A and B are shown apart, each in its own frame.
Chain A
Amino acid sequence: MSSAVTSTMASDMMPLLAALFLTPILASTPIAFAWAFRKDAPWARKLPILSVFGLFVSFLITLYILFNVEEGTKYVYPWLPAFGIDFVFIFDYLSKYMGALTGLIAFLIGVYGLEYMKDDYRLGWYWFCFNLFTASMLLVVYSDNLLMLLIGWEGLGIASWGLIGHWFRDDDELSYVGNMGRKVFGLNYFWSPSFGGWRAISTIRVGDMPMFFAVAAIYAFAGNLNISEIHWETLFETLGAAGTAILLIAFLMGPFTKSAQLPFSEWLMTAMTGPTTVSALLHSATMVAAGTYLFMRISWYIEPWAFSNAGMDAVYAFVLFLGLISSLYAALLAAGMWERKVLLASSTMSSLGLMFAAAAASKWLGEFAVEVSFWYLIVHAFAKATLFLVAGHLIHVTHDRFCGGDTEVAKKMKLTFLVTAFATISLAGIPPFTAYWVKSAMDEVMHGLIEHGMALPLTLLITISIIYSAFLAKFLSLNFLKGKKVHLHLHGGGLMGAAYTVMVSMLLVLLYLIMTGQEEVAGEFFHEGFVSTSLAVGAAVTVSYFFALIKPSIPQLSTVGRVLSDRLYMPFLNDLIVPKIGWVLVAIVDVCNRGVDFFFHQAIPAFFESASKSIRKIQKGYLASYMRVTLAAVMVLLVISSIVGW
């Protein structure tokens, strides 16, 4: 790929790019200021429209880039020319689609948010963070320079922190995760928004700092920070196998934590304490996918299939299995989950795992695997964002964050029901709907690994697909067909409905692109759908979907379900073991501080005080006592000198 990239200095793009990143931020400053100074003014609650308009402008620019900017174009704007580091924007296959996807989803969720958040107590914060997030995400998507990417990356982290902890008062049961007041082995098993925010940023920092180091190390060893220009093969050769492995793992710590792979998954679950719009945009469609996107992007230019390096090969194998195992873990969790949003969060984690695995398979199967992974990201983004938006709407009308709703809900909220049904069917991989074709290609990729002596990936993928389809059907069934009876507070909902309807219809557009072959890459997936493995998996997934639709919960398995919905007790790692270790260290340090403080500020002064006292004691003022001391000293001196002399 790197050879195909043409470096053009399109100077006319400057205003466009400035508008792309700055409009969302500038458009959200009025509401931020209004909220700080004139919160109660009647016009203040109308300002979010301006923020959404900013998102709309960004969306239009991403569309312009998608259709009018030639693939492989780069745009350079001087940033730190003294150090050979510049803002480098790249418009390649991945970034053009990803940018448009981000722009569209952010805009649609923005529209939804106008209604969903209209009575909120903290609109300034919400819209500023939301738009800052969108700008940061677009920066990550389009940047070729790793240091510039890190600005966007940190922006994602801070915006995500701000939005998860948006309801910082911790006073609304609807914003918690877990059953309020529940304890498991003495550990509180419920999480508040302010805690969710802290959990998110603390986990992400653990990944970002190694990644930051890796970027600095790339700068040190390659002398260049532009992903598409670094000679990766040469770089890896210089570093040797061990060095390459260290560098890649350090770099991938960022994507692993951001995309919530094991063992960094807990933050994504407690992130569900944020508003649903946030879960839809950040924690399913875009930000968490940024980790996988970045992995795809560097794989696109490293071209790991083109050469061999023991360190790199090991890391790709590691990512393959880490992704699959995380995916399986998360799929199991989702199967046992009762909370609407946490169920969707686990399913997101599962999908992210599959993206990592598929992209890592590119080491053995070439670029095609990255394309499969990327298209799965696109399909997943639209489907999962839709489901989250539906979940948000359901939480609004039922005042309940746990699954619930019988056929009455389906009757009264027909549109919502149909949208959910279509989104689940499309995402599950039931032929001939959208995800089926992409999943088929993924089956083929994993199938291809068998030739390289890895049979396990395909088995895991099929297992995951079956569970995945089952919990999607369970989500549909428990909320619209066979769940407990709920009381509906139906009013409004027009904007929300419109937003997720448009969102879900994007799956039809994708389906069209795949089936007609209008999109060259996606068109290839169409053929994979007719391979026997794919058809068999498709059939199994369909059976599992309809089984779960009819029997969404199995009372005989409630104990297993409990274990799964307790997230296989992973919270103990995050809430008990790691903090305990931390607190022990803190306690040791505290004791040392007291010790040093005592030594310097009490022991030393006390020593001087007592020394001075005892010296003063000698000075009695009697001539006789001075004489005695003098005589004694002379005697001692005589004795010493006679011994020494002798």
Chain B
Amino acid sequence: MIWVLLLPALATVAAPFLKKREAMVLSFLAFFIPFLVSFYWLFTGYTLEVAIQDVVGPIGRIYIYGDSLSHAFGFTIALISAMVAVYSLPYMEHRFHEMGLDVGKEFRKYWLFYNLYAASMLWLVYAGNFILLYVFLEISLIASFLLIYMYGYGNRQWVALLYFVWTNVAGVLALIGFILIGMQNGTMAMDAIKAVGMTAWLLVFVGMLIKLPGFGPHIWLPWAHAEAPTPVSALLSPLTVGLAGYVILRVYFIDSSFIESYRIPILAYGIFTSIYAGLSVFRQKDFKRLLAYSTVSQMGYMLIGFAAGTFGVLGVVIQYISHAFGKSILFMSAGAIIAVYHGLRDVEKMGGMHEYVPTISNAALLGFMTLSGILTVGMFGEFFILKGIADIYGLSLTAILPVIVVFIISGLYSFYTMKNIFYGKPKGYETPIVSRLLDTPLYVIGIISVLLILPPLATLFLAGVKIAFGGVLP
């Protein structure tokens, strides 16, 4: 079944030669089938390993490797990519019209880069060697950079460059870290690395902090995520930035010394990032920029989780999934409004939108529920992070109060935004006809998000994720 991981490659090559609708179906299947398979792998605890090439040190053996951790990230990436592929069709058609471009021709380019972008992220989590992982990181960066550069909004060339420079700095720092790991161990193959030196750890960690991002470097993200074409935002924000967390996790599973020695600063930084970005959300006038700040806030959860012991790290994995689900739904709802109202994204011009686009409003509700952990998989993320906090810091108020505030703020901005955008006095827009492709994918993700807290899916899902932690978890 391992060959299904190659389906996205097929789609990347073949989709540009098909008509736009067929290309959409192909891209959808190329990710949906891997979603089903990796979901199944997660449940069964299957570990895959395929050797590619033995290279001399310090690179070492290059191979494809998939354990429960890969599957947990992999099924998320595949599912979101499949759903966003469907959504891309009506959205990008609107965007090409808006930009005055030839729809047929542009779709060829679009499908090439879209599939390449999504595929590289999927492969990243199945890479068994850090150099391979880095290569996929860079491919995803270049593909997404090109998509923003070509089809973004506003000052798109500047934004694309900004995005490229920041994430490239992040990537290069991580690369130096990987090379140091390679020098130290004589290999970059994940199964052969014995220890990770402090400098290498620091470089990887700082690089990934820029990509994640934490407070300070976070400043590139609102630009990139707000001005990217929405389907790209719906991959960037939910999937790409969180992969920084995946990279840290991989190093953590080899050698957790760095995180354990700097637990408290990481916790403090995570809390600060999250509260700071959470507060930033309230002031945003642009729907997509608002969501971008919320991403930064949610990435703060990840840092908090890293600082909260084994259960906290388990929380990080679930947080990645729940954030990916929630944020992809939300970016797609923002995009749906942009598509049906010809570029409407100013929150102040919205109000009572539920009157006109009820299906999108209800989908956005599912998205915000996932972010705030209400009746959705987000609940488990919060639960395990909190359990980790209790494990490590006991009932110390200085640790628990700020973390509680972090979670409260997410709930507050979620429903504040719902109220401002979708409820209240309707502003007198026309009721549009919403393409089913613009809202159905959102519900598919939303429903999976709800089902993941109930048996039987919850039982299988959490048992599967637990396997990634081996015997560490009780």
Contacts and interface: CB of A to CB of B under 8 A. Distances in A.
A589 B282 CA distance: 10
A192 B424 contact: yes
Interface string A369-393: 0000000000000000000000000
B386 A79 contact: no
A323 interface: no
B257 interface: no
For the residues of A in contact with B, the DSSP-based class is: helix
A511 B283 CA distance: 56
A97 B368 CA distance: 35
Nearest to A82: B463
Contacts of B391: 220
Contacts of B216: 596
A582 interface: yes
- The 3 closest A-B CB pairs, nearest first, are A216-B386, A194-B423, A205-B411
A147 B375 CA distance: 11
Nearest to A600: B219
B379 A216 contact: no
Contacts of A192: 424
B455 A169 contact: no
Given A154-B373, A210-B404, A596-B216, 13 more contacts: A36-B359, A83-B473, A197-B419, A202-B412, A205-B372, A206-B408, A209-B407, A216-B384, A216-B390, A243-B395, A246-B397, A586-B280, A586-B282
A154 B386 contact: no
B352 interface: yes
Given A202-B412, A205-B411, A206-B408, A194 B419 contact: yes
Contact of A169 (B220, B352, B358, B458): B352
B466 A83 contact: yes
A170 B387 contact: no
Given A77-B455, A80-B462, A195-B419, A202 B387 contact: no
Given A197-B419, A597-B219, A217 B386 contact: yes
Nearest to A247: B395
Interface in A82-99: 82-83, 87
Contacts of B253: none
Interface string B418-458: 11001111100000000000000000000000000101001
Interface in A15-67: 36
Which of A192, A197, A198, A597 has the largest count of B CB atoms less than 10 A from its CB?
A198
Interface in B349-394: 352, 354-355, 358-359, 369, 372-375, 379, 382-384, 386-387, 389-391, 394
B424 A151 contact: no
Nearest to A587: B283
A201 B279 contact: no
A613 to B, nearest CB: 20
Given A77-B455, A212-B383, A601 B404 contact: no
Contacts of B150: none
A530 interface: no
B219 A601 contact: yes
A522 B465 CA distance: 50
Interface stretch (A155-163, A431-439, A440-448): A155-163
Interface residues of B, number: 56
A409 B415 CA distance: 42
For the residues of B in contact with A, the DSSP-based class is: helix
B224 interface: no
A590 to B, nearest CB: 5
A299 B27 CA distance: 56
B455 A198 contact: no
Interface in A574-612: 582-583, 585-587, 589-590, 592-593, 596-597, 600-601
Interface of A: 36, 77-83, 87, 147, 150-151, 154-155, 157-158, 161, 165, 168-171, 192, 194-195, 197-198, 201-202, 205-206, 208-210, 212-213, 215-217, 219-221, 239, 242-243, 246-247, 250, 582-583, 585-587, 589-590, 592-593, 596-597, 600-601
Nearest to B411: A205
Given A78-B455, A589-B279, A220 B359 contact: no
Contacts of A202: 411-412, 415-416
Contact of A213 (B352, B373, B400, B453): B400
B316 to A, nearest CB: 15
Given A195-B419, A589-B279, A87 B372 contact: no
B202 interface: no
A418 B459 CA distance: 53
Which of A205, A239, A592 has the largest count of B CB atoms less than 10 A from its CB?
A205
B462 to A, nearest CB: 5
Contacts of A215: 383, 386
Contact of B279 (A154, A206, A213, A586): A586
14 contacts: A78-B455, A83-B473, A168-B352, A168-B354, A169-B424, A198-B419, A205-B412, A205-B415, A216-B384, A217-B386, A219-B390, A243-B394, A582-B282, A592-B276
A136 to B, nearest CB: 9
B137 interface: no
Which of A168, A206, A221, A585 has the largest count of B CB atoms less than 10 A from its CB?
A168
A1 to B, nearest CB: 26
A215 B358 CA distance: 35
A87 B411 CA distance: 26
Contacts of B395: 217, 239, 242-243, 246-247
B466 A82 contact: yes
Contacts of B220: 600
Contact of A82 (B280, B359, B462): B462
A161 B415 contact: yes
Nearest to A128: B362
A589 B276 contact: yes
Contacts of A150: 379
Given A77-B455, A168-B424, A243-B395, A212 B382 contact: yes
A250 B395 CA distance: 10
Contacts of B416: 198, 202
A390 B416 CA distance: 33
B118 to A, nearest CB: 29
A198 B415 contact: yes
B82 interface: no
A220 B390 contact: yes
B426 A169 contact: yes
A155 B408 CA distance: 17
A621 B416 CA distance: 63
Contacts of B419: 165, 194-195, 197-198
B268 interface: no
B379 A154 contact: yes
A21 B355 CA distance: 30
B135 interface: no
Contact of B404 (A154, A158, A169, A213): A213
